[in-house]
Amino acid sequence: MIEARRLHILRAVADHRTVTAAAAALYLTPSAVSQQLTALEQETGHRLVERSAKGVRLTPAGEILLSHTNAVLAQLERAEAELAAYGSGEAGTVTVASFATGIALVVAPAVARLARSAPGISIRVRDAEGDASLPMVLDRQVDVAVAVEYRGAPPADDPRLAHVPLYAEPFDAVVPVSHRLADLGEVPLAELAKDPWIGPYPGNPCHDVVVLACESAGFQPRLEHSSDDFRAVVALASADAGVALVPRSALRGMDLTGVVVRPVDGDAPTRRVFAAVRRGAEGHPLIRPVLEALEAAGAE
C-alpha cells in the first residue's frame, strides 16, 4: 500500500530537484525525506529517484508514479473539501500569498469583503512574489497564491494547480522629464533600445514581462539598475538614471516628480494576475469564498 504523504514528498523532490530543498519546503530534515523516498521505493518495488552531484531526478518509474501522484493528491484535496463542506466549514483560517501590488488591489479588498460576507473565515496574508508563492501552495505552506504569469510558470492546465484569472493590466513607460520622448503621447519601445534601463531582478515575473516586451520590439534591454521595488525604480528614473516599464497599478499614489508616464505605443506589455490553489481544493468551503472574493475584487 502506497502512503499518500510519501507521494507528497516525491512531488516536492521533483519540484525542487534536490532533497535538501524539498526538505526545507516541507519542514523536514533531508534524512527524513531520504528515508521516506526509500520507503516509497520499497512499497512500489521500483527505483524512483537517481541522485547525482547536481541533485535528484526521477527515473522513468518515478515519472510514471508522479503522473498518478498529481491525480491522487488532487482527489485527496477534493475529499477534504467535501468533508469540510459536510461539517459546514464555515469557520477557519486561509493563508494567502501575494506580491505587494496584488495585496493592495485584490487581497485587501477581498479581506474586507469576507469580513462582511463570511466573518468566520480568517485570512492570513504573506508577501511573496509569484515565482515564490506558487511553490508555497504546492508545498502546503499557504492555501492560495495570487501570482503573475511569467516565463516558466506552471500553465493553466497544470495537473497540480487550479487557476482563477483575476485581472490584467498594462505596463506604462516611465522616462525622465528631460527625456527626448517625454513629449510624446505614447512611447514606441523600439525608440528606447539604446537607453539604460531600470527594472526588477531576474526571477521576478515582471522582469520577464519587460524583457519579452523589449525583445518583441527588436532589442535586448540594457539593464543598468535593478530593484524589485517600483518606488525605487521610479526614483532612479527621476534621477535620469534610465527608463523603465512599470505596471500601471504600481504607479498609483506614487510620487512621480521628475518623471513622465506614458502608455506604450502598439501592443502594451501586460501583467496577467491569477489566483492558484492546489487542484481539488478550489471547492473547499473555506477556500471557495476566498477565491470568489478575489475574483470580485479583480473585477472592480
How does DSSP assign 78-135, residue by residue? HHHHHHHHHT---SEEEEEEE-HHHIIIIIHHHHHHHHHH-TTEEEEEEE--HHHHHH
Residue 276 bridge partners (DSSP): 145, 163
CATH class held by domain 167-269: alpha beta
Residue 25: half-sphere exposure toward Cβ, Cα within 13 Å: 25
> Where in the chain are all domains bearing CATH 3.40.190.10?
89-165+271-297, 167-269
CATH class held by domain 89-165+271-297: alpha beta
CATH class held by domain 2-82: mainly alpha
pTM: 0.70
User: Cell 543598468 maps to which residue?
Assistant: 224
CB atoms within 10 A of CB 102: 31
> Where in the chain are all domains bearing CATH 1.10.10.10?
2-82
CB atoms within 10 A of CB 7: 20
Q: What is the pLDDT along the chain (300 residues), one digit of tens a residue?
A: 778 888 888 888 888 888 888 888 888 888 888 888 888 888 888 888 888 777 888 888 888 888 888 888 888 888 877 777 656 666 788 999 999 889 999 999 999 999 999 888 889 999 998 778 999 999 899 999 999 887 777 888 889 999 999 999 999 999 999 999 999 999 999 999 999 999 999 888 889 889 999 999 999 999 999 999 999 999 999 999 999 999 998 998 899 999 999 999 988 899 899 999 999 999 888 999 999 999 999 998
